[in-house]
Amino acid sequence: MVPFRILSALLVSILLIVSSSSVCAKPLTPHWKRDIGRYIRIGYPGRPKSSSINVKKRATTCNGSSDLCNRLYSNVTFAGAHNSYAIANGAGGLASNQNVSLAGQLNAGIRLLQSQAHNSTNQTASGAGIDLCHTSCSIFQGGSLEYYLGQVKSWVDANPTEVVTLLIVNSDGSPPSKFAQAFESTGLVSKMYQPSSGTISRNSWPTLGSMVDSGRTVVGFLSTEADFQSVNYLLDEFSNVWETPFGQTQTPFNCSIDRIGQSVTDSSQLMYLSNQFLDQSLFGGSGSSSSGSSGDALTTPDTDALGTTNSVDTTLSTSYTCASEHNNVNPNFILTDYSTTPSYSFMRGVAQLNGVNYTAPSSSEEGGASGGSSGSSASSLPSHVLGAAVVMLAALFII
């Protein structure tokens, strides 16, 4: 019996080849990488809902705690969901990274939502023409950007004391004005933080309290093509945030500076994102790149390792190692797969980094996958269906 993983790899390879013209048209990043759900965002776990009771003219409660109102945005560790839109039912298929709805992720404390934007191939779609897909829309179609931003808008409207960050990977190099259409039509533009400059040095970020007071509680980053003059709320990611290697296939996680803006001269003036999700090669074994990253190899989340990868221990030890290498500051963002699994351990770890206690959501707020499903068919494709498709496609190509 040929292992499922190999069959899956074949499927993905075939799909990649078939769709390669659109997938690989343009490098995503300032340097060398482009691919699969590589950007992860971190957010901080927040205390959902109940904190909104305390909204007053001046914010007295931020993320469920008065102490946090005085903390700079840049002095908080935000829990992040890698490919927050790639939501599967249950244990998840090859191209999924989460299995709780967007609202469920936010209710659990995720405050950084990372996503991957592609030019829509949907002939009947209206709007900005951007879909959230994983690697390619033929592999995972996560629905329109409007559908996604609409959910974020509903949540932040209902939770005005929570600060949420959106990290959008601009896979097809679309101009920011195209993204802006979706922020405008969903009304989310009214919640977006608009700084006076597109590059904000680490200590110049506002406090959470002042962001809450202003009602502009959503921070937006775009991986490439950001243009502050044209859209002043989609900030250039790598001028403001650097990342540790993306798609690592070995632990302990590597804390080195991997992607950073080419014109940055002092990395300590930036915030940073720790990529704390573990990939495994579809062909077995770990990636071959020297950084222990998957690079362009075919990888999939190592779901068997989630108990360790998302544990309090790994979250703390990775963050402390990164801090020891980078001016004794903890990561600002930590990106994980299946972020609420198991038992919100990752959230508990992030809470410890912030010096607060974690409150798990009530079961009604947990938000299973169905609540957040994009309504597109692929997002809920169980892995055995993908497996079958692999076999069929593989057969076609081999024959």
Sign of the alpha-carbon torsion through 147, 151, 154, 160: negative
Residues with Cβ within 8 Å of 281's Cβ and at least 6 positions away in sequence, in order, are: 249, 287, 294, 297, 298, 299
- Phi/psi of residue 29, nearest 5 degrees: -125, 165
Q: Which is nearer to ligand NAG, 128 or 394 (CB)?
A: 128
Q: Which is nearer to ligand NAG, 30 or 292 (CB)?
A: 292
Q: Which is nearer to ligand NAG, 281 or 341 (CB)?
A: 341
Min. distance of Cβ 398 from ligand NAG in angstroms?
Answer: 29
Question: Per DSSP, which regions of 84-135 are E strands?
Answer: 112-119, 130-134
Q: Which residues bind ligand NAG (CB under 6 A)?
A: 22, 25-26, 44-47, 63-64, 68, 75-77, 90-92, 99-100, 109, 119, 122, 124-126, 141, 143, 172-174, 178, 245, 254, 256, 258, 290-292, 303, 306, 323, 329-330, 332, 338, 341, 347, 350-351, 354-359, 368, 375-376
Tell me the one-letter amino acid at 299. Answer: T
Q: Which is nearer to ligand NAG, 239 or 341 (CB)?
A: 341
Min. distance of Cβ 395 from ligand NAG in angstroms?
Answer: 26
Min. distance of Cβ 399 from ligand NAG in angstroms?
Answer: 29
Residues with Cβ within 8 Å of 51's Cβ and at least 6 positions away in sequence, in order, are: 61, 62, 63, 64, 159, 161, 162
Contact indicator for 331, 74 with CB cutoff of 8 Å: no
Min. distance of Cβ 351 from ligand NAG in angstroms?
Answer: 3
Q: Which is nearer to ligand NAG, 99 or 294 (CB)?
A: 99
Q: Which is nearer to ligand NAG, 330 or 380 (CB)?
A: 330
Q: Which residue's CB comes closest to ligand NAG? A: 45
Min. distance of Cβ 245 from ligand NAG in angstroms?
Answer: 4
State how far the alpha carbon of 229 is from the alpha carbons of 9, 177, 233, in Å.
43, 11, 10
Bridge partners of residue 62, in order along the sequence: 65
173: phi > 0 → left, psi -120 to 50 → alpha, else beta; which?
left
Min. distance of Cβ 6 from ligand NAG in angstroms?
Answer: 20
